[in-house]
Structure 1
Amino acid sequence: MTVDPVESSDCPSPSLISSEKDTSWLDQGFARIVQGIALATVAILFWMGWVIFIEAKPAIQAFGLGFLTRQEWDVNELQFGAVTYIYGTLVSSAIALLIAVPVGLAVALITSENFLPPWVRSPLSFLVELIASIPSVIVGFWGIFVLIPFLKPLQLWLHQQFGWVPLFSTETFGPSVFVAGVILSIMILPTIAAISREVLLSIPRDLRTASMALGATRWETIFSVLLPASASGIVGAIMLALGRALGETMAVTMVIGNSDQLSISLFDSGNTIPAILANQFPEALEQLHIGALMYLALILFALTLLVNIAAVFLVQVFGFKNN
């Protein structure tokens, strides 16, 4: 009895083995380059934090953690506190999220589902994403000449009707924390809408058809299937937009009023950390003044870092729940 020889297709040819050996070093080299770039990025992050900490050290030694709760900001007396700017930064960003999140999700749903004909959906999504390309100084000018006069009657009405609420307790004269929050919502809207739209489009169509086949309506499918399935991506988009809102400078500086006095009312002028850095850093001469500004920069650096860490954590949590 003869044994059939082993077919040549069952074992790789010598030329194929040699070609794999010749290209393996390219794969290893590329992997090392990518690892090096990733490590360099982390190193730059720590380097930036270290430089800011060194420059802020005089203020850290002078005021300590009490800097976070001090309100006074007197350049002549070299007395500085951060609570006014932390409040303005957090409150304006919170207003931006309250407005931009529902609007951004609505835009994402309209442009990803079959609510509108295709010839309307594509231009609409493009126009919303186009807002992100407008320079912030242009948005600031628009806020001064258009948004402030437009919102003033609304602020006056809220003050007249709900003046007993501390957030609406003062009568506005124009620039305010509320206007800054609204203009921030416009600037972060493209981030939420675009990322949420891509996440919704990536959901398999089988989930939609299966839900509707079981008798669910379109809105029941959206709220019971699509939004839970895309929760991790939407949360990531919201946290990314929050990071943008915390660090926005020029547009907020032009409409917030740049007041160093702390006021709970949203209709009073306020200030944010990026705004005070943009306004005072070029003219800072005293070492303690520079240190106080860098201390504010260190606080903003820590806030944005915490936001990004929270985003990664929340995305993992929602992703785990969906799985």
Structure 2
Amino acid sequence: MSELHGRALTELRGQVVPGADAAEPRRRLRSSGGPADRIFRGAARGSGTLVLLTMLLVGVFLSWQAWLALREAGWGFLTTAAWEPDAGRFGIAAVLTGTVLIGLTAIAFAVPLALGTALYISEYAPPRLRRTLISLVDLMAAVPSIVYGVWGAFFLQSHMTGPARWISTYFSWIPLFEVDGADPGDPLATATVYTSSTFIAGMVVSLMVTPIACSVMREAFSQAPVGEREGALALGATRWGMIRSVVLPYGRGGVIGGTMLGLGRALGETIAVYMIISPVFAVQWHVLQNGTNSVSALIALRYGSASELGISALMAAGLALFLLTLVVNFVASSITARSRAGAGAEA
């Protein structure tokens, strides 16, 4: 009798006595929603499944087409620099190295530019000017890559040989900035050793990835809590102090996500790089020196005249680039998700 009385009091008070309902299964609250909710849920689920299925099919297709070349080359495909499929000597050591160096050079220029632009738009620009700047940044992302390539080949290249010569003269003790065959003491030495280099190609690609990185960073910065902003200012912080203590830590995920997203775009850039570089099939670590290569430029250069084995080798190179960009994007997603602004940056 006392147990029934106690259970009744518990139900009336809305409390749960430990062990009283242990035998009863817990019920899950579910919201069925209306027809619109079910349609939207099905459409979202179908879209996500379609994207994953498409990526899987792309990977399967590249693997199938690349099997002939991978079976012929074996593990030497990753360590061979030459590209002579008809002679049985081919590999991606040179083009993969050039791809990574061009991407890293582009990110080295793009991240400071994107970070400064994003901070100015979100924190300093007047509201009317802010809308104009956002539109201009978005328009930069819509410019075709061949336009950047033409601009880089016919304008930027001739104007960047001087800075490249200066860097090589004073920083050639760093192996990355050394240029073979250059004489820093000869002012009349030819400048062709500094053209068509990783440095120039990376600068052009950096302008192409800056709008993407800037957009992600700006969205992350704009979602910093207003209360924390006002609290920092109320405690006497300057505008830059508030940005440094509130906005930048909150937008760390956006900065990392935008950087990695830009790197993924830079690794796969084709036309602009193809128009600027002088293709060489040797591992070229000197970023200021003439001659480099990339996986995408190799495919564009050799696809039209390749044999059956050559096509398979190009597919294998494309598979390597596909896996590399997947790894970069997965790393970016994991880092962004762990950060404070991860959810906002992904949105």
Assess same fold via TM > 0.5: yes
| Corresponding position: 1:108 with 2:118 | yes
| Cα drift, residue 277 of structure 1 | 0.7
Give the stretch that moved more between structures: 164-173 or 23-32.
Answer: 23-32
Specify every segment of 5 or more residues in structure 1 that has no aligned partner in the other structure, as ranges: 1-19
Once the two structures are TM-superposed, the CA of residue 38 in structure 1 deviates from its matched residue by 1.8
Superimposed CA distance per residue, residues 274-317 of structure 1 (whole angstroms, 9 cap, x where no aligned partner)? 110111112212x2211111111000010111111111110122
Shift of 1:123: 2.9
Alignment-derived partner of residue 292 in structure 2: 270
Q: Is 1:144 aligned with 2:153?
A: yes
User: Identity percentage over the alignment?
Assistant: 34
2:80 is paired with a residue of what secondary structure?
A: coil
* One-letter amino acid matched to 1:45: M
For 2:40 and 2:92, the matched residues in 1 are separated by: 46
- CA deviations on 1:138-163 (whole Å, 9 max, x unpaired) are 11000011110111101111122222
Q: Give the corresponding residue for 2:164.
A: 155
> Using the alignment, how far apart are the partners of 2:194 and 2:259 within structure 1?
31
Cα separation, partners in 2 of 1:259 and 1:318, compared to 1, 3 Å: same
Once residues 103 and 175 of structure 1 are traced to their aligned partners in structure 2, the CA distance between those partners, rounded to angstroms, is 23
Aligned to 1:235: 256
In the other structure, the counterpart of 1:310 is 331
Matched, 1:60 2:81: no
SS in 1 for 2:264: helix
CA distance in 2, matches of 1:215, 1:312: 36
Q: Does 1:34 align with 2:55?
A: no
| Post-superposition offset of 1:118 | 3.9
Distance 1:275 1:81 in 2: 15
CA-CA distance at 1:207 after TM superposition: 1.6
Contact 2:68/2:312 (<8 A) preserved: yes
d(CA) in 2 for partners of 1:173, 1:230:
38
CA drift at 1:31: 2.2
**Aligned counterpart for 1:254 among listed residues 275, 283, 301:** 275
Bigger mean CA offset, 69-78 vs 237-246: 69-78
The residue that corresponds to 1:16 in the other structure is none
Q: Is the 8 A contact 1:78 1:289 kept in 2?
A: no
Q: Once the 2 structures are TM-superposed, how far is the Cα of residue 166 of structure 1 from its aligned partner?
A: 1.8
Match for residue 210 of structure 1 among 223, 227, 231:
231
The answer on 1:123 being equivalent to 2:138 is: no
> 1:83–1:202: structure 2 CA closer, same or farther, 3 Å change rule?
same
**Structure 1 241/120 Cα, relative in aligned 2: closer, same or farther at 3 Å?**
same
Contact persistence 1:92–1:180 (CA under 8 A): yes
Which residue number corresponds to residue 97 of structure 2? 87
1:263 counterpart SS class = coil
Q: How far apart, in 2, do the equivalents of 1:238 and 1:267 lie?
A: 23
Question: Is this contact kept in 1: 2:220–2:341, CA < 8 A?
Answer: no
Q: Which position in structure 1 is the counterpart of 2:60?
A: 50
Task: Report the CA distance between 1:261 and its aligned residue.
Answer: 2.2
Once structures 1 and 2 are overlaid, which stretch shifts more, 259-268 or 180-189?
A: 259-268
Aligned length: 301
The residue that corresponds to 2:9 in the other structure is: none
More helix by share: 1
Q: Contact 1:70/1:83 (CA < 8 Å) preserved in 2?
A: yes
- What's the TM-score once normalised by structure 2's chain length? 0.81
Q: Displacement of 1:111 after TM fit?
A: 1.0
Provide the residue aligned with 2:197 in structure 1: 176
Residue pair 1:155, 1:267 contacting (<8 A) in 2 also: yes
Structure 2 alignment gaps of length 5 or more: 1-30, 183-192
Contact kept, 8 Å, 2:68 with 2:309, in 1: the verdict is yes
Q: Is the 8 A contact 1:59 1:292 kept in 2?
A: yes
CA distance in structure 2 between the aligned counterparts of 1:117 and 1:33, rounded to whole angstroms: 39
Distance 1:222 1:43, change over 3 A: same
Residues 61-120 of structure 1 deviation map (CA, whole Å, 9 limit, x = unaligned) = 112222111112124423101011111111111111111111111001111113x44444
Q: Does structure 2 retain, via aligned residues, the 8 Å contact 1:78–1:288?
A: no
